[in-house]
Amino acid sequence: MAENDVTKVKKIERTNLDNSNSAIRFEGILATNSFRTLERYGYTTKVSEFDDLTEALKKFQEEMGLKISGELDDDTIDVMKRPRCGGKLILNRSDRVKRFAHSSRWEKMTSDNVLRLKWFISQYTKDMSVSEIRSIVKKSFGLWSTQTIIHSMPSVTLVFEEAKDEHDADITILWAEGEHGDEYKFDDAGDEINILAHTFYPNYHRGTLNGDIHLDDAETWTSDGRYGGTTFANVFIHEIGHALGLGHSKQEEAIMFPVYKKHPREHEHFDLDDKCAINWNYIGPSNTCLFVWIMSEIVKHQVDHNSKNGMVANNETPIPRCKEDNEVQEKIEHKLWRELNVDPQKAHEYSKLSCRFLNGLHREFREHPFSLDEASLNNQTKLLELPTVRQKRHLRHLRHRRIRYHKNRHSLSFHDDDAFNSRFFDNFLSLYTQ
């Protein structure tokens, strides 16, 4: 953005200061880079309208688990500077990125729920040895093969093998700089936007790019993040999720959270949100994963996993409550068929089930030791306080004393409001927070 554009933004701010209590902070070149970030990731297409910028910042803050203020505050600027996935996320132009995305998947799964895909590395970086790269690639695919099972539920089995050549591969992996043959050129190393990689979804339909993973060779790639380099495994494990058709998660600890982690992730366990995303995409909806989706998308910012980097700023979260005089159920139903591609009839049934779950949170958490906040907004919402480390350990202990949630899910009658009782939530939370 040119300098006169920055000046124009400042004038817009001054114009709105007299009539608004929520002005955005705009500060010269810092603001310019922030606007470029919002544009690059698809949060806005214009930088000259004050209201548009406010909404763009709110969208960014929501996705990143930040306090939603619409202001360019220090926490927002800090997150903008961190290395992250190269989205707008590259899928068919007419589609919107979805978390559990039936519209973007490989149509190769067998009748026994096995998905076999082949990969091939066509261009290597010189930052690591070929043997190091191949080892990390194999371990990363292996993690997806072993970490996506949800016990006692139908789950997809992922099988990855190396192709003989690029033409035989479903997923082609390469390093490149700048312009490299597709329409998404890489930035320079150290650029404020800091894009490290981009991946084409299975339904991109542009030549042979479907599922391909491109990494920016202008960056310095390492196996362990030493000397300020980028840890290859952290980026690659995340990009595999996109190659499988998954969108971003709002859970900071999920593999599919858009900001890359600094510590090595080669041996980590997947978050339940990741497991549900891949299985919803390929197996289909389930009650368990519906409840996980509600916690991630409807009850927002609800798990901080004891974050040390300040990215999750809201530990007291309003829980929507379904009532006859509000439209909470209708909005959930709309999100189910629009964002999760659930057919209209199923979306209606799931919206009713979602309401029983949400209303159960109100009923049971009123006396729950981890949530003692008063109801607000005319009792349409109630604040949910997050469990601490000690309380999470207690929840895990409950799992051994009580019947586990996923073993009971078929015996519970979810058509009955009483099914969402203290035992249900103890068992569900023990699974959800483990």
Residues designated catalytic = 239
Query: Is residue 406 part of an annotated ligand binding site?
Result: no
Is 216 annotated in a binding site? The answer is yes
Distance CA 364, CA 80 (A): 38
269 is in an annotated binding site: no
182 is in an annotated binding site: yes
- Check: CB of residue 281 under 8 Å from CB of residue 245: yes
Residue 170 marked ligand-binding: yes
Tokens of 357: 């779950």
The β-bridge partners of 344 are none
**Is 219 marked as binding a ligand?**
yes
Q: Pick the closest to residue 41 from 64, 22, 23 (CA basis).
A: 64
What six digits make up the tokens of 28? 């010269």
Q: Residue 221 pairs with which residues in a beta bridge?
A: 230
| Torsion region of 100: left, alpha or beta (phi above 0 gives left; psi -120 to 50 gives alpha) | beta
Q: Exposure string (b/e) for 55-65, b if CB count within 10 Å is 16 or more?
A: ebbbbbbebbb
Helix, strand, coil percentages in the chain from 3-state DSSP, rounded to 5: 40, 10, 50
- Residues shown for the chain: 434
Q: Any binding-site annotation on 187? A: yes
Instruction: Report how far residue 429's alpha carbon sits from residue 368's, in angstroms, rounded to the nearest whole number.
Output: 12
Q: 214 a known binding residue?
A: yes
Task: Return the ∠ at Cα 406 (arms to 413 and 334), rounded to 5°.
Answer: 65
Contacts of 51 (CB under 8 A, 6+ apart): none
In this structure, how many other beta carbons lie within 10 angstroms of the beta carbon of residue 77?
16
Q: Is 180 annotated as a binding residue?
A: yes
Distance, in Å, from the CA atom of 24 to the CA atom of 53, rounded to the nearest integer, reads 8
In the annotated binding site for Ca(2+), the residues are 127, 170, 187, 212, 216-217, 219
In the annotated binding site, the residues are 85, 127, 170, 180, 182, 187, 198, 212, 214, 216-217, 219, 238, 242, 248, 256
In the annotated binding site for Zn(2+), the residues are 85, 180, 182, 198, 214, 238, 242, 248, 256
